[in-house]
Structure 1
Amino acid sequence: MAEANVTVAQPGSQKEEPSEAWYRLTTEQTADKLGVDYRKGLSAAEVQSRQQKYGQNVLAGKKKESAFQAFLRQYQDFMQIILVGAAIINQLVTREWGTTLVLLGLTVFNAVMGLNQESKAEASLAALQKMMKNIARVRRDGQAIEVDASELVPGDIVLMEAGNRVPADGRLFVTATLEIEEAALTGESVASSKDTEAITRPDVPLGDRHCMGFMNTSVTRGRGEMIVTNTGMTT
């Protein structure tokens, strides 16, 4: 059986760049900026401190609308507009309050039914997301452990292999035939081959940042290790 081609980043002497250009930094520079020994990982105390500073590694959902706004939104439906229009025309032409109230009552019934269906769909989606909780394998205090991905902080050392979802943005420092599918970010249907070499060119597109891993992309082949650089809404 052929031995896997493993690339481990080595210390370099490149000029230090702004913190957001992680792909331009060597592994040593990245580790220094994030205050971590990538051979041991963060300590439990440091993780707790950074969780208080950076918060959870989750993407914020859209702002929840009020019940009144949700109710009014139901009237954007084409059928609702027709019914309201029919009620107005009926009242202006015939002045029959009974028919007008029936038509308006029907729009209220439709709105309530629509809200009920939306509520059930949101509850089902929330339950599904809870079942699909992302677990990340990290190195902390020199030990490899599994944690909820929402608990990751910048500086964490993440261990990945084929079948895993990348739990945060990070600078790769170990790659063994590592390939990551990044179609959602780059539009490329072919998985990206990864290595650990820093990129000296500025303004490199996401798809060409071969030394980086990005949140919610999927490892399709090989294994790798990375230093988390960004979490949550900063990814």
Structure 2
Amino acid sequence: METFKDSGLQPSIVKGVEALGFETPTPIQKLSIEHLLENETDLIAFAQTGTGKTAAFSLPILHNLDPDVQHVQAIILAPTRELCLQIGNDIASYTKFMDVKVTSVYGGAPITKQIKELQGRPQIVVGTPGRTLDLIQRRKLRIEDVQFLVLDEADEMLSMGFQDELDAILDNTPEHKQTLCFSATMPDGMKHLTKKYLKDPKEISAGKRNISASNVTHELYVVSSKNTYEAMRRIVDFNPNIYGIVFC
């Protein structure tokens, strides 16, 4: 598999990907797509952020789901609402030439609006663990037809304290589902989770495990809380070409 055209993916998926300007898969996409198109076994994939993980798991899922079944067939869990929205938008762009609906659910937003979106019968739901479990317990998110469960940035979800929510979701979704776990590292909590819930998983890796992305640098500035805004202004002044997001 050198290009998406010779990947074996449905033509409508390839057309959607190429419309975005992508022709050649990244290493993790190549490994994941090749495995998932030919196997129904669970998967553990190690890859850093920014390596194309979303396409690595979503394109094979789109290939295998049934657009005529208007129930949730895939649940994708991610640690933050920002990542949920990003994944949902990416999948929506891949399905430009398909009759597939995707909905994102996450905390910090009105649950009534998300319940209404679920009534539109999406085939794919992207969610944070807490909001997803809440909707399942309210019986607003149907899970009996779920064939795929993806844990994206599984190590981050565990480090953020979502162990109980993940356990509850994994315990309540159908046993016959295919579980895909994508992570940058393999902490002890994740070893326990994969051993308990994944059945004879295949492991793939793109790059080295347990390391930070090579293009990310870290700097620490110690300032009092009352001076944080002024400190941020000084940092921007000293780095006029800076691009970034400030999390408050």
In the superposition, the TM-score normalised over structure 2's length comes to: 0.24
Higher radius of gyration, 1 or 2? 1
Greater relative contact order (Cα 8 A, min sep 6): structure 1 or 2? Answer: 1
In the superposition, the TM-score normalised over structure 1's length comes to: 0.25
Say which structure is richer in strand. 1
